Amino acid sequence: MKNLVCIFIAALLFTFGCAYQKAWSDDLLVRDQAVAILIEQIITPRVYEDYYMAFGPQQMLTIGDRVEPEILGGQPYPGSAKDIQGPTWFFWVDTDKWARFAHLVHFVYIDASHPNPTLGDGIVVEDQGWWPNINGIDYLDDPQERWTSSDIVYGEAPTGPPTVPPRNQ
Protein backbone atom coordinates (compact mmCIF):
# COMPACT_ATOMS: atom_id res chain seq x y z
CA MET A 1 0.00 0.00 0.00
CA LYS A 2 2.86 2.39 0.84
CA ASN A 3 4.36 1.86 -2.62
CA LEU A 4 1.03 2.61 -4.26
CA VAL A 5 0.72 5.89 -2.30
CA CYS A 6 4.30 6.84 -3.21
CA ILE A 7 3.64 6.13 -6.89
CA PHE A 8 0.42 8.18 -6.75
CA ILE A 9 2.19 11.13 -5.10
CA ALA A 10 5.08 10.93 -7.58
CA ALA A 11 2.65 10.87 -10.51
CA LEU A 12 0.74 13.82 -9.05
CA LEU A 13 3.92 15.85 -8.56
CA PHE A 14 5.08 14.99 -12.08
CA THR A 15 1.73 16.12 -13.51
CA PHE A 16 1.82 19.43 -11.61
CA GLY A 17 5.46 19.94 -12.59
CA CYS A 18 4.66 19.43 -16.27
CA ALA A 19 1.67 21.78 -16.03
CA TYR A 20 3.81 24.44 -14.31
CA GLN A 21 6.56 24.09 -16.94
CA LYS A 22 4.02 24.41 -19.78
CA ALA A 23 2.42 27.48 -18.18
CA TRP A 24 5.84 29.10 -17.73
CA SER A 25 6.94 28.42 -21.30
CA ASP A 26 3.58 29.62 -22.68
CA ASP A 27 4.20 32.98 -21.02
CA LEU A 28 7.31 33.66 -23.12
CA LEU A 29 7.03 35.67 -26.31
CA VAL A 30 7.46 33.57 -29.42
CA ARG A 31 9.68 34.80 -32.25
CA ASP A 32 6.78 36.04 -34.42
CA GLN A 33 5.51 38.18 -31.53
CA ALA A 34 8.98 39.62 -30.94
CA VAL A 35 9.38 40.40 -34.66
CA ALA A 36 6.02 42.22 -34.70
CA ILE A 37 7.07 44.26 -31.66
CA LEU A 38 10.43 45.08 -33.31
CA ILE A 39 8.77 46.31 -36.50
CA GLU A 40 6.00 48.25 -34.77
CA GLN A 41 8.04 49.93 -32.04
CA ILE A 42 11.57 50.20 -33.38
CA ILE A 43 11.62 50.14 -37.19
CA THR A 44 8.48 51.80 -38.60
CA PRO A 45 8.73 54.97 -36.54
CA ARG A 46 12.07 55.71 -38.28
CA VAL A 47 12.36 58.14 -41.18
CA TYR A 48 14.49 55.90 -43.41
CA GLU A 49 12.83 52.56 -42.67
CA ASP A 50 13.06 51.56 -46.36
CA TYR A 51 16.85 51.43 -46.01
CA TYR A 52 16.63 49.08 -43.04
CA MET A 53 17.13 45.38 -42.81
CA ALA A 54 16.71 43.48 -39.58
CA PHE A 55 18.01 40.08 -38.65
CA GLY A 56 17.44 37.79 -35.71
CA PRO A 57 18.49 34.28 -34.79
CA GLN A 58 15.85 31.56 -34.94
CA GLN A 59 16.23 30.85 -31.20
CA MET A 60 16.02 33.24 -28.32
CA LEU A 61 19.12 33.95 -26.29
CA THR A 62 19.32 32.65 -22.74
CA ILE A 63 21.24 33.29 -19.53
CA GLY A 64 24.97 33.24 -20.16
CA ASP A 65 24.84 34.13 -23.86
CA ARG A 66 26.97 37.11 -24.88
CA VAL A 67 26.47 39.64 -27.68
CA GLU A 68 29.10 42.14 -28.77
CA PRO A 69 29.89 44.17 -31.88
CA GLU A 70 32.49 42.82 -34.29
CA ILE A 71 34.79 45.72 -33.33
CA LEU A 72 34.76 46.76 -29.69
CA GLY A 73 35.79 50.36 -29.17
CA GLY A 74 35.68 51.26 -32.89
CA GLN A 75 34.78 54.85 -33.70
CA PRO A 76 32.38 56.58 -34.14
CA TYR A 77 30.27 53.89 -32.43
CA PRO A 78 32.51 52.25 -29.83
CA GLY A 79 29.89 49.70 -28.72
CA SER A 80 30.02 47.35 -25.80
CA ALA A 81 29.32 43.72 -24.98
CA LYS A 82 26.14 42.52 -23.29
CA ASP A 83 25.69 39.41 -21.18
CA ILE A 84 22.16 38.03 -21.43
CA GLN A 85 20.39 37.77 -18.08
CA GLY A 86 17.20 35.94 -19.10
CA PRO A 87 15.20 34.72 -22.10
CA THR A 88 15.76 37.39 -24.76
CA TRP A 89 14.97 37.86 -28.40
CA PHE A 90 17.90 39.60 -30.10
CA PHE A 91 17.72 41.53 -33.36
CA TRP A 92 20.32 43.36 -35.38
CA VAL A 93 18.90 46.33 -37.31
CA ASP A 94 21.12 47.51 -40.15
CA THR A 95 20.16 51.13 -40.79
CA ASP A 96 21.82 51.31 -44.22
CA LYS A 97 21.74 48.04 -46.13
CA TRP A 98 23.96 49.49 -48.88
CA ALA A 99 26.75 50.52 -46.54
CA ARG A 100 29.79 48.43 -45.82
CA PHE A 101 30.92 49.16 -42.26
CA ALA A 102 31.33 51.04 -39.85
CA HIS A 103 27.93 52.69 -39.76
CA LEU A 104 25.06 53.01 -37.33
CA VAL A 105 23.27 49.77 -36.52
CA HIS A 106 21.03 48.89 -33.60
CA PHE A 107 21.20 45.87 -31.34
CA VAL A 108 17.68 45.31 -30.02
CA TYR A 109 17.01 43.13 -26.99
CA ILE A 110 13.40 42.15 -26.24
CA ASP A 111 12.70 40.51 -22.89
CA ALA A 112 10.81 37.33 -23.84
CA SER A 113 9.33 37.03 -20.35
CA HIS A 114 7.82 40.53 -20.37
CA PRO A 115 4.07 40.36 -21.11
CA ASN A 116 3.98 43.67 -23.02
CA PRO A 117 7.48 45.01 -23.70
CA THR A 118 7.94 48.62 -24.72
CA LEU A 119 11.02 50.73 -25.34
CA GLY A 120 12.62 51.26 -21.94
CA ASP A 121 10.46 48.60 -20.28
CA GLY A 122 11.36 45.23 -21.71
CA ILE A 123 13.06 46.56 -24.86
CA VAL A 124 16.64 47.83 -24.94
CA VAL A 125 18.14 49.39 -28.07
CA GLU A 126 21.90 49.91 -28.25
CA ASP A 127 23.58 51.92 -31.01
CA GLN A 128 26.54 50.05 -32.43
CA GLY A 129 28.75 50.41 -35.48
CA TRP A 130 29.33 46.80 -36.49
CA TRP A 131 27.48 43.52 -36.97
CA PRO A 132 27.15 41.35 -33.86
CA ASN A 133 29.09 38.41 -32.57
CA ILE A 134 26.95 36.02 -30.56
CA ASN A 135 28.91 33.85 -28.15
CA GLY A 136 32.09 34.66 -30.09
CA ILE A 137 30.68 33.69 -33.49
CA ASP A 138 30.36 36.29 -36.27
CA TYR A 139 26.72 36.80 -37.11
CA LEU A 140 26.28 37.43 -40.82
CA ASP A 141 29.45 39.38 -41.52
CA ASP A 142 29.29 38.80 -45.28
CA PRO A 143 26.85 41.12 -47.13
CA GLN A 144 25.80 38.35 -49.55
CA GLU A 145 25.14 36.07 -46.60
CA ARG A 146 23.15 38.83 -44.92
CA TRP A 147 20.92 39.30 -47.94
CA THR A 148 20.11 35.61 -48.38
CA SER A 149 19.75 34.65 -44.74
CA SER A 150 16.66 32.97 -43.35
CA ASP A 151 17.21 35.15 -40.29
CA ILE A 152 15.95 38.26 -42.14
CA VAL A 153 12.91 39.57 -40.28
CA TYR A 154 12.52 42.94 -42.05
CA GLY A 155 13.55 44.49 -45.36
CA GLU A 156 14.80 43.22 -48.68
CA ALA A 157 18.22 42.89 -50.21
CA PRO A 158 19.29 45.99 -52.15
CA THR A 159 18.91 45.71 -55.92
CA GLY A 160 20.85 48.81 -56.89
CA PRO A 161 22.49 51.91 -55.46
CA PRO A 162 20.44 53.99 -53.06
CA THR A 163 18.88 57.16 -54.39
CA VAL A 164 19.32 59.15 -51.20
CA PRO A 165 21.71 57.68 -48.65
CA PRO A 166 20.45 58.03 -45.06
CA ARG A 167 22.74 59.47 -42.44
CA ASN A 168 22.64 59.07 -38.68
CA GLN A 169 19.08 57.98 -38.01
| Sheet order of strands, 88-94 included | 118-119, 122-128, 105-111, 88-94, 53-55, 152-154
* Per-residue confidence (pLDDT) for residue 16, from 0 to 100: 43
14 belongs to a structural domain: no
162 belongs to a structural domain: no
19 belongs to a structural domain: no
110 belongs to a structural domain: yes
167 belongs to a structural domain: no
Centre a 10 Å sphere on the Cβ of residue 121 and count the other Cβ atoms it contains: 10
| Residue 165 confidence (pLDDT) above 60 | no
Would strands 122-128 and 118-119 be described as parallel, antiparallel, or unpaired?
parallel
Q: Which domain holds residue 82?
A: 31-154
How does pLDDT run across 123-149, given as a tens digit for each residue?
999 999 998 999 988 877 665 666 667
Number of domains in the chain: 1
How does pLDDT run across 21-47, given as a tens digit for each residue?
333 446 899 999 999 999 999 888 766
pTM of the model: 0.75
Give 95 or 122, the one with higher predicted confidence.
122
38 belongs to a structural domain: yes
Q: What is the mean pLDDT of residues 139-162?
A: 70
Q: How far apart are CA 77 and CA 37, in angstroms?
A: 25
Q: How far apart are CA 16 and CA 68, in angstroms?
A: 39
Q: Say if residue 20 is exposed, middle or buried (CB neighbours under 10 Å; 0-12, 13-18, 19+).
A: exposed
6 belongs to a structural domain: no
13 belongs to a structural domain: no
* Per-residue confidence (pLDDT) for residue 31, from 0 to 100: 93
